[in-house]
């Protein structure tokens, strides 16, 4: 099962979905957690008050993560959750060490 993880340091789930410029892709089976890919994306949230969120960027990110079962990040807004659900990808907002978070999530999906 593939999980996309938003992380600042590659060790913890500690990044907001909209701030991510890359997602680490993990293949998870029971207790085994294996990093299999890193995918670059265009940052969804910007600090431009006239264009704070861009739907074309959100759609592009969703397309990059389309083959994942779930996206795991520290925070995620309503629009990204809706877009991911539309393509059948679950979104989880949780923080912690990547391996232990993914081992726990794979049991509830």
User: Residue 92 and residue 72: Cα distance in Å, rounded?
Assistant: 5
User: Residue 9 and residue 103: Cα distance in Å, rounded?
Assistant: 19
Please report which helix (H) or strand (E) contains residue 59, including its range: helix 55-64
User: Residue 36 and residue 96: Cα distance in Å, rounded?
Assistant: 20
What pLDDT does residue 40 have? 98
Q: Which domains does the chain have, with CATH numbers?
A: 2-108 (3.30.420.130)
Please state, in angstroms and as integers, the Cα–Cα distance from residue 63 to each residue in 58, 77, 84, following that order.
9, 17, 9
What pLDDT does residue 45 have? 81
Mean pLDDT by 10 residues, the chain (109 residues): 98 96 96 97 76 74 97 95 96 98 95
Judging by DSSP bridges, how do beta strands 90-93 and 70-73 pair with one another? parallel
């Amino acid at each position: 099962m593939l999980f996309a993880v938003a992380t600042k340091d590659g060790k913890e789930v500690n990044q907001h979905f909209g701030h991510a410029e890359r997602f680490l892709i993990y293949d998870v089976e029971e207790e085994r957690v294996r990093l299999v890919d890193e995918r670059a994306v265009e940052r969804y949230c910007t600090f431009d008050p006239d264009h704070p969120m861009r739907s074309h960027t959100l759609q592009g990110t969703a397309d990059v993560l389309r083959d994942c079962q779930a996206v795991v990040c520290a925070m995620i807004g309503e629009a990204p959750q809706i877009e991911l659900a539309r393509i059948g990808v679950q979104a989880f907002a949780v923080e912690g060490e990547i391996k232990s978070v993914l081992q726990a999530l794979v049991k509830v999906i």
